[in-house]
Amino acid sequence: MRLSKNEILRLPLDGQDFELTLNFESNDIPEYMGIRRLDPVSVKGKLIYDVHSEHLLVTVSLKGRMILPCSITFRDVPIDFKTSTTLVYGFKADEYPDILVMSKDEVDLDPELLGLIWMEVPSQVIAQDIKEFPHGEDWEVLSETEYNRRKTQKPDERLAKILEYKPINE
């Protein structure tokens, strides 16, 4: 969503509500975000231009679904997200560090909205329908329940003597 300076200056004093759907292509999403795909994102918000401070206030609510890789199997996992915030834009840099400066007398909200979506990406995603965890020679991935079950088992008799070891410094 792009707004020119003229469009911003013509906003009503009480603001203007907007509602739109954003479609991000795969090449629009930087690889470092870890998002494989975004379904259409519903955006609702309000634009308010403050004549005295010359700042544009953009209150937005985003709702949609992102497709992320499973941390174990790398399969696609759909994750619903919902977020909201207020962005503040200015025509020139001023003493407030949180003000986003409009370049070339226009504002493009898409990069900031994509950044808001990125903030909703969880640090780890695990698919719910994993039937078999990956394994290899001398290693395997365990579910949490399997890990807890094995932790309560008696240790191998050959290693039991190691459990009696106490460091000298204690």
Written as one string, the DSSP assignment of 34-87 is ---EEPPEEEEEEEEEETTTTEEEEEEEEEEEEEEE-TTT--EEEEEEEEEEEE
pLDDT higher than 70, residue 142? yes
Query: What's the count of helices (H) and strands (E) in the chain, helices before strands?
Result: 4, 10
pLDDT at 143: 79
pLDDT of residue 83: 95
User: What confidence tens digit (pLDDT) does each residue in 80-110 have?
Assistant: 999 999 999 887 777 777 788 877 778 888 8
Q: What angle do CA 17, 22, 26 make, to 5 degrees?
A: 160
Q: What is the pLDDT of residue 170?
A: 60
**Residue 151: is it exposed, middle or buried by C-beta count within 10 angstroms (0-12/13-18/19+)?**
exposed
Give, as one character, the DSSP assignment of residue 153: S
pLDDT in tens, 155-168: 777 777 787 788 88
Can you give the C-alpha Rg of the chain in angstroms? 25
Annotated domain spans of the chain: 2-118
The whole-number pLDDT of residue 117 equals 94
Q: Give the whole-angstrom CA distance, residue 31 versus residue 15.
A: 36
Q: What is the mean pLDDT of residues 26-43?
A: 92
pTM of the model: 0.75
Average pLDDT, whole number, for the chain? 87
pLDDT of 122 higher than 90: yes
